[in-house]
Amino acid sequence: MSLSPEERLELQKLAAKVRRHTIEMTHKAKASHVGSSLSMVELLVVLYKKILHIKPEEPEWPERDRFILSKGHGCASFYALLAEIGFFPVNWLDTFYQDGSRLPGHATHTYVPGVEISTGSLGHGLSVATGMALAAKRDKKPYRVFCMLSDGECDEGSTWEPALFAPQHRLDNLVAIVDYNKIQSLGTVKEVMDLDSLAAKWRAFGWAVREIDGHDIDAIASTLSSLPFEPERPSCLIAHTVKGKGVSFMENKLLWHYRSPQGEEYTAAVAELEGQE
Amino acid sequence: MRTAFIQELFAIAQKDPRIVLMVGDLGFGVVTPFMEKLPQQFVNAGVAEQNMTGMAAGMALSGKIVFTYSIANFPVLRPLEQIRNDICYHNANVRIVAVGGGMAYGALGPSHHATEDIAVMRAMPNMVVVAPGDPVEARLATQALIKHQGPAYLRLGRAGEPLVHHTPPHFEIGRAILVREGNDITLISTGGLLPEAIEAAHRLSQGGINARVLSMHTIKPLDEDAVLAAARETSAIFTIEEHSIIGGLGGGVAEVLAESGISIPIFRRLGIRGGFSSEVGTQNYLRKRYGLDAEGIVKTVRHALEVS
């Protein structure tokens, strides 16, 4: 898939809009995880606009491709994107974290159209995705299952159990995407639990692996339109990303795993993103 | 019990393609016919219970009725968070089957004693907890759990348990089975100790104590009506389980009694006190050691009645 200039511009604008929502939501909610939400925005935008077979007006459409946000803490941008493409009203985003609302701080399926499964504890999503992919194979259904993981999540042993299982069962309808932003909870990935070489690890487990710049919209679109990367193998996309991407003072800063944008920081972040829309 | 379970599941699965049996690389000789005849409905997840449980949720959310199967604590405690978040939170049609509930794998040691599983599973939202009392109940429970909507835990014994029911009783999830009439005291048993409870009732009757015996095959939802009827109609209640006295059948019955306002002069929980067994032993040896065989039950009952 190659994108026309108009398509590229539309996706870039949507990404900026999703980022602005993310800042506004985490500001109002005084919420953490803004950096984790911002690093995967281009991946989400390209997936939902160009790759996934979905019907926002019919969230339970049986033939839909499934998407699981295993890194459930990054849900602010995910909710924002789901709202922007029509799964639920955009004004719900104002209720993020609020008492009595539907949108908690980790991706939740209850009453939120478009959220396939609830996540929040790391190392769960890929197993559930693998079960869905196995069921699709057994039932000879054409849908695919996509699972977005964080790099910190690759510390979990339970991530590597389905990583072993899926190649054994030739689940080429399964796609793992690692949002490799290189910063985890208490330090950089290199400092805490070095994953290098992450691509070699997934390859050694039997996955077909591609590595791209996870903010390059053209690269994401072209790579994810050639699935499976190899026949009879699950696909793993390692997306090199920048934590806090899109707001210059948040980029590559551990602080923004926790800090909520307030005061002048909030104003500056919104101004920077409005310039991109 | 495991034979009754697997035969029943195999028979139903041949007609119902939604049923999937998923094992954690265990069940040699037991699951083999299922594996060979229904490969499209069988999954060996390998020695990876967390993934087994998460995948079971994923398959169930894709329209399957999934039975995860392993021994003792392996399908329960290792993947507990997957049970809670992936299965229970999504109300997924997964049945977790543990073979060797209690101390069925006695001599294998405490790592293989499932003695806190009922307490832990009872606390899980949406989870139904079933521990059949004999192979007939195991068969009926399997049928009932296929029709049930939502998650369930099926705690089985191992193999060779005696038959209690010679004709199939009426079996309903959440309804105790009255196995023996009696109006002096009530013995409420769950799981494979049912024959011991019945034998104890028989011995007590020789001493003039007429014991009612209930097979409480469902611990959650607990049959509160049967418990309260026992409290009203008999003067003592004894719960009997091959499980810690904390949080299992005894705990559940105590909660019902305490909240009912009905006072019962004598209530005792028979089960495992004091944690891990310090001795090696077969199931029968360990039951005796913990006072859970017929002789031990009789002794506890007589002592409680004399003290009062």
How many angstroms separate the Cα of B291 from the Cα of each of A49, A251, B282?
A: 66, 65, 14
> What's the whole-number average pLDDT of chain A?
96
Q: Judge whether A146 and A52 are in contact, CB under 8 Å.
A: yes
What is the tens place of the pLDDT at every residue in A210-223? 999 999 999 999 99
Which residues in chain A have Cβ-Cβ distances shorter than 8 Å to B50? 123, 127, 157-158, 161
Local confidence band at B275 (pLDDT 50, 70, 90 cut-offs): confident
For residues A73 and A75, give the distance between their C-alpha atoms in angstroms, rounded to a whole number. 5
Residue B308 pLDDT: 61
Is pLDDT at B132 greater than 70 in this prediction? yes
Span B1-14, mean pLDDT? 97
Residue A250 pLDDT: 95
Span B132-161, mean pLDDT? 96
B86–A120: do the CB atoms touch at under 8 Å?
A: no
B58–A164: do the CB atoms touch at under 8 Å?
A: no
What is the tens place of the pLDDT at every residue in A97-152? 999 999 999 989 988 999 999 999 999 999 999 999 999 999 999 999 999 999 99
Span A88-96, mean pLDDT? 96
pTM of this structure: 0.96
What is the tens place of the pLDDT at every residue in B172-222? 999 999 999 999 999 999 999 999 999 999 999 999 999 999 999 999 999
Residue B30 pLDDT: 92
Question: Mutating which of A69, A109, A127 best tests the B interface, going by the most B Cβ atoms within 10 A?
Answer: A127
B61–A117: do the CB atoms touch at under 8 Å?
A: yes
Residues 6+ apart with CB under 8 A from A5: none
Contacts with A, B 69-98, CB within 8 Å: 81-82, 85-86, 89-90
Span B1-26, mean pLDDT? 97
Q: From the options 3.30.1540.10, 3.20.20.140, 3.40.50.80, 3.40.50.970, give the CATH code of A5-274.
A: 3.40.50.970
Assembly ipTM:
0.96
Local confidence band at A72 (pLDDT 50, 70, 90 cut-offs): very high
A76 near B CB under 8 A? no
A164 near B CB under 8 A? yes
Residue B159 pLDDT: 86
Which residues in chain B have Cβ-Cβ distances shorter than 8 Å to A140? none
B51–A158: do the CB atoms touch at under 8 Å?
A: yes
Is pLDDT at A207 greater than 70 in this prediction? yes
Nearest CA in chain A to B40: A138
All domains in chain B, ordered by first residue: 2-155 (3.40.50.970), 177-307 (3.40.50.920)
A117–B86: do the CB atoms touch at under 8 Å?
A: yes
Local confidence band at A277 (pLDDT 50, 70, 90 cut-offs): confident
Would you list the domain boundaries of chain A?
A: 5-274
Supply the angle between the helices A125-138 and A157-168 in degrees, to the nearest 10: 20
For residues A265 and B244, give the distance between their C-alpha atoms in angstroms, rounded to a whole number. 55
Handedness of CA B233, B234, B236, B239 (dihedral sign): negative
Q: E strand or H helix at A44, and its extent?
A: helix A41-46
Nearest CA in chain B to A120: B85
Which residues in chain A have Cβ-Cβ distances shorter than 8 Å to B59? 131-132, 134-135
| B17 token code pair | 């393609």
pLDDT more than 70, % of chain B: 100
Residue A275 pLDDT: 87
Burial A156-191 (b: 16+ CB within 10 A, else e): bebbbbbbebbbebebbbbbbbbbbbebbeeeebee
> What's the whole-number average pLDDT of chain B?
96
What is the tens place of the pLDDT at every residue in B53-79? 999 999 999 999 999 999 999 999 999
For residues A119 and B260, give the distance between their C-alpha atoms in angstroms, rounded to a whole number. 38
| Least CB–CB distance from B59: residue in A119, A135, A168 | A135
Local confidence band at B121 (pLDDT 50, 70, 90 cut-offs): very high
DSSP state of B84: I
Residue B277 pLDDT: 84
Question: Mutating which of A128, A168, A169, A174 best tests the B interface, going by the most B Cβ atoms within 10 A?
Answer: A128
